[in-house]
Structure 1
């Protein structure tokens, strides 16, 4: 069996990190741009008490933006991946419960959201998409080493330059 080289694995990790960063940055920015619609999307799930709906509608885009910025910078990559995975599992569960309860909603994952006409839901696609994003987070949890990351820069500053004989400039050793 052929094992991928370290540079190939590091490149895959970098693409996973940047891809997941883009997802969170776009999702958070779209929600933040229209807070009223974000509240409507949160309310459509019909799972939170009224007192928490506003808090979640305000906090969710901010959390998404922070995760996106951490992943973009490659800072605390393993922690950010764990938080992203946890959030994605909550979002998948929310979509699944809406489907199971027969609600007709748009998930609001990338802005918009709320109730839609019967038959206009895309639950399987939304769950599959978020599962793909979760797999990116799992990769980063298992292997947070990526190119062009602050984690790698900080590791070099502590004297962790990687394995003997290999130049891991810009590669994170893990968190």
Structure 2
């Protein structure tokens, strides 16, 4: 369940952003952590990384490696959110949306965003300890889970 749950998280997050790579770049730029040109490239690449992680997890292929990469990505996401919070930025994290400046009286939810990502990080941790299950490609290639 941890593998499928984390796969769904990355597939949904990447799928929501992949149709508008420019908006994804603007969302990364809203964090004010890097030059705009770099943020555009990172924003354009991020949905493809998320979808790739999601597909690998869903298939159960190279689960320990994929969970490790997912954990690093989640820690980076949490660091970015913490940075935005510490800097007093009023942005949507862009995790499951186009992100950017908050408008229309919306308020930040940085604490909840970080807690959510801690939960996702726990799923990655479970997969680091027990990467194979009977429904994974890894199990078919390497034997019983």
- TM-score, with length taken from structure 1: 0.79
In structure 1, distance between residues paired with 2:134 and 2:53: 18
The match for 1:128 among 107, 115, 128 is 115
Q: How many residues align?
A: 144
What secondary structure does 1:103 align onto? Answer: coil
Aligned to 1:70: 56
In structure 2, distance between residues paired with 1:36 and 1:51: 11
Q: Which runs of 5+ in 1 are unaligned?
A: 1-14, 157-167
Q: State whether residues 105 and 116 of structure 1, in contact with CA within 8 Å, keep that contact through their aligned partners in structure 2.
A: yes
Query: Which structure has the greater CA radius of gyration?
Result: 1
Aligned-pair distance for 1:119?
A: 6.2
Q: C-alpha deviations, 1:42-91, integer Å up to 9, x for none?
A: 11100012231111011100100100000000000000000000000000
Q: State whether residues 60 and 136 of structure 2, in contact with CA within 8 Å, keep that contact through their aligned partners in structure 1.
A: yes
Please say if 1:146 is aligned against 2:106: no
**Match runs of 1:64-143 below 5 Å:** 64-117=50-103, 120-143=107-130
**Match runs of 1:9-88 below 5 Å:** 15-88=1-74
Q: Which runs of 5+ in 2 are unaligned?
A: none
> Hey, which of these two has a bigger chunk of helix by percent?
2
- TM-score, with length taken from structure 2: 0.95
Runs (4+) of structure 1 moved beyond 2 Å? Answer: none
